[in-house]
Structure 1
């Protein structure tokens, strides 16, 4: 209705410009007919949030507007409010309460701020009982407001201000249920919780720019004093987004990136002229240390498609890496948007079929990365020992540092500095304080690979717990690899003991502390989400898939260059067992991971699933990789080993780092709340992968590829650089 009013006013304005004074005669006969009660944006706002948040008996239709909306949408005059704000708010209310003044300002002065200010307010929409408790309003409509009225016979005041948009966060402290429910009746309790009124609100308001954020805070706090509601915080912004502080760190980051790009583009230009002059000997001289940084060379290494199969390349890993990246991005698109989703309590509609369980059990995609990391680290070390007769253990660690830290540092510094300039939406200030501020304060935890020991609010990159846990396992891996390179029997016995311990430790922890597997939709009374997440972030929580990967690396190394004979029935049995185990892991917890029909999770299942599921997932992957690499993969190997996966596989690490920041920044860029369903999330995921892929190219050619190319040029490693398509320890 409010939108129709705005369109009507604009049409009236256009007609008035073209038909002279005739329109005014018509308006005199029906003064502001479009501004009557049921089309009036002020009235729509008055009967919205104020009637929900205040006692109905306190609100009367014929009382002054400011008395109703004051303390919710606008500051109310009191001792703590600055004088100019009081005057502008009172003048605004005066216009609303005097139709002739309202008509004069809009129809004669063609200034529509008396209508656009309340029209931009967030009013309750559809689906409140379904979780739609974030009526943001329309920020752009508010910040476009420009009032400029001079005192005259028709308007008894001066008004010069801009619109200031504020997003208000309030919470309902009354957590009691309206009905008495027996504790064992979990289904009824869940149903009641779904239908219960939302316990928080993020609503948007618009006020004159002369009012400060503190003015609105004081007024709202006073309004909700001694009620079930309490103010959490308020974030305001005008068109120039004054909450963004420009500092020397931003300048330093931009200058540093500019210098790096000058170097890599300059190297590409020099390489072009060297090729044009047909002087390849120049590439082997002192200039080679610069030319390896070439932008052209880096782009070629990303998008080069190798059709010939190298026996040292495990082709199927490219498809596994790319598909796991897609899977983890898809799952993150559900988990990172809870604050900007308008149907959170409608999640029960997407928890009851196989697709739901595959999406929301996406943590196993990370276990795929752990598996591949253990596999590649082991395979590379054993190959180096076989090719050169020794292993350079110093470079084993140096390579890891050069492989991971530059790209992490670049991503963290981006988030800590210039990322804030993209936060133009209503939720932007919250993203700035909740997600970007930790990057400014705790970036070193991500860079030093210890962020898995930090809590979620202190971590710069939420997904950096993986790189930390993976690196900690990589740190201790030589304890297993050294025996394998000197005495296979002792090495395998040691590896067996550590692998058994990697299964036993999680089982013991689940049993001793009554931990429950993290299930996204499980009822909190059944599965407290905080009980298993901290365990899963630790290296001992993900050691089993990593060490199964070590077994896979040893197995592939042991049969490197050798044929492995297996009867047809053995291959079929292997694929059937692998598929069955994977399906049981992904779908087996469906009865406990649903909202509509919850089932209590027994302790025995918690211990078995929590302790063995990740290792069992890796065992199924071991079969897939071994069968594909040794000729038993059939169409699976054709699919996973296809060259089309190569570019995304090479960019997987950079994409893993940047896609989550892209989603976080998307929260701060959205102007309207999102609606969650599988189709929307699929489309959004395609966008995140595309944008994340473009940014990953930038990260890769700015940090990852140049650093590794310099390492290869300065410190050649026999046995590690023998293949056309080098392996990556992800």
Structure 2
């Protein structure tokens, strides 16, 4: 009955008998309204009066041309959005024809001024229609001389008579002919990248010449050889025996975690794209399948944090056992050269050139939110503390993880040196720190009444800033990884025997974690939050990351001790080794590729389908992997070599 009533209300509205003026005639009425403002609009700003006068005059010419059935005016109007079909099915997007509008041109008969098309998207509040829909997105094509602010003012004057209003800032959604010159930053970047590219090319040629003459090039040349570094990326080693110090299964875990992150981010983008069948997208998002593929992807970051704690612990403890001291310079230099060059190069490239890649409905909005902050916050990102300051100005928001990981890496000697000296006695302190981190999340949820369900009230809107980005709320899995790394280090030379009953219990608990996490995930994110107590959300958010880390620890433990079976065979497959080596650069650049190709260049609504989502995932994985090869060869592997050179000279 509710759907029938909604349909009847929509029918009445569209036939002019409902709550607002007829939507079907909206476009023509808006054109005539704009054309009639030439003599009546009040110019409040003398600085823009000249341009506004030109705009209103050209709007008048456009309206007159359309009334006289002139082809050029019809072409302009043809590119406008009309009333979208399927409003009740979630299609609130009628963006018109973006390219048709941007190519539209006309020189009117009484002057030499050319009228060029400017495409603007207006998000119109449709609450007056009393329908279960959000704002309606209309695309309009107006003369390029018109300021977006004036477009918004005129649109609001028009919609005010219909008890509607424009919700967005047209400045972020208008596209006209604008000369795009290379900025000083872009020119400097071109010079720097060209010089560095010449170094890589020269080193590669020298390496190949030496190889052709059956000689070996100097090591300083080989470090920058693209040919040699590509071979390193795709070089694989056969599966090693258990307890040899090589954990082959970690390659598979790293590679799959990176793919999982991409799956998660593709779903994030899918839910934010203009879609003609929004109802189907919502149904998928609320299904078990949709929730698991989307929300479980967030656990991949916690897997990386756990692995980071495990690996840094094993590395530092080996050094302490060998040298009885820790080389702090080498420790931190290794991390800086591992992380910073590729990250800094990405910031420089993206900020300098993204604006020249094209235009689309969401181009300016996404650029303003995700890339523009890097112009002022790049140093916070490269100093790795942006997860604690000015969250709205975070340079590439997905790199919050790098800040967390670097901060924990810097602090690791404060934990690992006492652990090495005191052994199990200090492990209690680490456990207490992990529990304190988890309790911070729990307390923050309870005090601020945060809920994970999107339908619930958002409270102060600071949930990610208080519980997702900060290091002190994410460090529990890293600390558990430290304890696990300590355990693996202490048992590295011992053969650990597990009875079949112990294995059965372990794998049963692992399966229970997967089932419990998946079920509770579906409930807290899509269930009726009014029937789910607040404490359930608080417990879930504070516990699920650590339980997932325990699951991965069990898998690693069984694999390296010879009890992994088919799981170990799969994770130790040599296919994963190149992807594992590319995981860092893929993590860095996949978001920019996705934002540019999938979102920023979008010019029309998309049709949602599950197959389409996974096609996008496959495409993004392929493109990101290819780009990551280039980025690793250029900005990651050469600096590994420089690190070893520096350490040798110091020694």
Q: Does 1:88 align with 2:58?
A: yes
196, 199, 211: which one aligns with 2:132: 196
Aligned partners of 2:24 and 2:285: how far apart in 1?
41
The answer (yes or no) to whether the contact 1:364–1:614 under 8 Å persists in 2 is yes
1:103-122 superposed Cα distances (whole Å, 9 cap, x missing partner): xxxxxxxxx43332112112
SS state at 2:83 partner: coil
Paired residues for 1:90-105 under 5 Å: 90-99=60-69, 102=70
The residue that corresponds to 2:532 in the other structure is: 601
The answer (yes or no) to whether the contact 1:358–1:587 under 8 Å persists in 2 is no
Q: Given the superposition, is the C-alpha separation of residues 601 and 117 from structure 1 closer, same or farther in structure 2, using an over 3 Å criterion?
A: same
Q: Given the superposition, is the C-alpha separation of residues 601 and 267 from structure 1 closer, same or farther in structure 2, using an over 3 Å criterion?
A: same
The residue that corresponds to 1:644 in the other structure is: 575
The answer (yes or no) to whether the contact 2:378–2:395 under 8 Å persists in 1 is yes
Aligned residues: CA RMSD: 3.2
200, 204, 228: which one aligns with 1:268: 204
574, 577, 580: which one aligns with 2:506: 574
Kindly state the Cα deviation for residue 621 of structure 1 after the two structures are TM-superposed. Answer: 1.0
Q: Given the superposition, is the C-alpha separation of residues 392 and 60 from structure 1 closer, same or farther in structure 2, using an over 3 Å criterion?
A: closer
The answer (yes or no) to whether the contact 1:144–1:239 under 8 Å persists in 2 is no
SS state at 2:140 partner: strand
Q: Does 1:331 align with 2:264?
A: yes
1:329-379 superposed Cα distances (whole Å, 9 cap, x missing partner): 111112235443224555431144432231232211111111111111111
The residue that corresponds to 1:524 in the other structure is: 456
Aligned partners of 1:496 and 1:620: how far apart in 2?
17
The answer (yes or no) to whether the contact 2:38–2:56 under 8 Å persists in 1 is yes
Give 5+ residue unaligned stretches, structure 2.
1-11, 44-50
The residue that corresponds to 1:127 in the other structure is: 86
Q: Does 1:676 align with 2:641?
A: no
Q: Given the superposition, is the C-alpha separation of residues 241 and 318 from structure 1 closer, same or farther in structure 2, using an over 3 Å criterion?
A: farther
Q: Does 1:591 align with 2:523?
A: yes
Q: Given the superposition, is the C-alpha separation of residues 53 and 544 from structure 1 closer, same or farther in structure 2, using an over 3 Å criterion?
A: farther
Aligned partners of 2:142 and 2:18: how far apart in 1?
19
Kindly state the Cα deviation for residue 400 of structure 1 after the two structures are TM-superposed. Answer: 1.5
Kindly state the Cα deviation for residue 278 of structure 1 after the two structures are TM-superposed. Answer: 3.0
337, 343, 356: which one aligns with 2:290: 356
Kindly state the Cα deviation for residue 549 of structure 1 after the two structures are TM-superposed. Answer: 1.0
The residue that corresponds to 2:555 in the other structure is: 624
Kindly state the Cα deviation for residue 75 of structure 1 after the two structures are TM-superposed. Answer: 7.1
The answer (yes or no) to whether the contact 1:420–1:436 under 8 Å persists in 2 is no
Q: Given the superposition, is the C-alpha separation of residues 500 and 598 from structure 1 closer, same or farther in structure 2, using an over 3 Å criterion?
A: closer
69, 82, 107: which one aligns with 2:31: 69
SS state at 1:269 partner: helix
Aligned partners of 1:48 and 1:395: how far apart in 2?
71
The residue that corresponds to 1:538 in the other structure is: 470
Kindly state the Cα deviation for residue 646 of structure 1 after the two structures are TM-superposed. Answer: 0.9
The answer (yes or no) to whether the contact 1:50–1:69 under 8 Å persists in 2 is no
Q: Does 1:556 align with 2:495?
A: no
125, 133, 137: which one aligns with 2:96: 137
Kindly state the Cα deviation for residue 512 of structure 1 after the two structures are TM-superposed. Answer: 4.0
The answer (yes or no) to whether the contact 1:535–1:541 under 8 Å persists in 2 is yes
The residue that corresponds to 1:465 in the other structure is: 400
Paired residues for 1:279-678 under 5 Å: 279-280=215-216, 283=218, 288-309=219-240, 311-342=244-275, 343-344=277-278, 346-361=280-295, 362-516=297-451, 518-519=452-453, 522-525=454-457, 530-531=462-463, 534-594=466-526, 600-666=531-597, 667-678=599-610
Aligned partners of 1:438 and 1:173: how far apart in 2?
32
Aligned partners of 2:425 and 2:394: how far apart in 1?
40
Q: Which structure has the bigger radius of gyration?
A: 1
Aligned partners of 1:351 and 1:633: how far apart in 2?
34
SS state at 2:121 partner: strand
Aligned partners of 1:58 and 1:313: how far apart in 2?
67
Give 5+ residue unaligned stretches, structure 1.
1-46, 103-111, 152-156, 179-194, 719-730
1:674-704 superposed Cα distances (whole Å, 9 cap, x missing partner): 2334322111111111222222222212212
The residue that corresponds to 2:114 in the other structure is: 161
The answer (yes or no) to whether the contact 1:480–1:494 under 8 Å persists in 2 is no
Q: For structure 1, which segment, 82-91 or 297-306, has the greater mean C-alpha deviation from structure 2 after superposition?
A: 82-91
SS state at 2:142 partner: strand
The residue that corresponds to 2:48 in the other structure is: none
1:585-636 superposed Cα distances (whole Å, 9 cap, x missing partner): 12223233226x5553213322321221111111111101111111110000
SS state at 2:550 partner: helix
Aligned partners of 1:546 and 1:167: how far apart in 2?
47
Q: Given the superposition, is the C-alpha separation of residues 532 and 255 from structure 1 closer, same or farther in structure 2, using an over 3 Å criterion?
A: closer
The answer (yes or no) to whether the contact 2:125–2:167 under 8 Å persists in 1 is no
The structure with the greater share of residues assigned to helix is 2
The answer (yes or no) to whether the contact 1:135–1:204 under 8 Å persists in 2 is yes
SS state at 2:397 partner: coil
The answer (yes or no) to whether the contact 1:435–1:460 under 8 Å persists in 2 is yes
**What TM-score does the superposition give when structure 1 sets the normalisation length?**
0.78
SS state at 2:348 partner: helix
**What TM-score does the superposition give when structure 2 sets the normalisation length?**
0.87
The answer (yes or no) to whether the contact 1:48–1:124 under 8 Å persists in 2 is no
SS state at 1:565 partner: coil
The residue that corresponds to 1:185 in the other structure is: none
The answer (yes or no) to whether the contact 2:292–2:522 under 8 Å persists in 1 is no
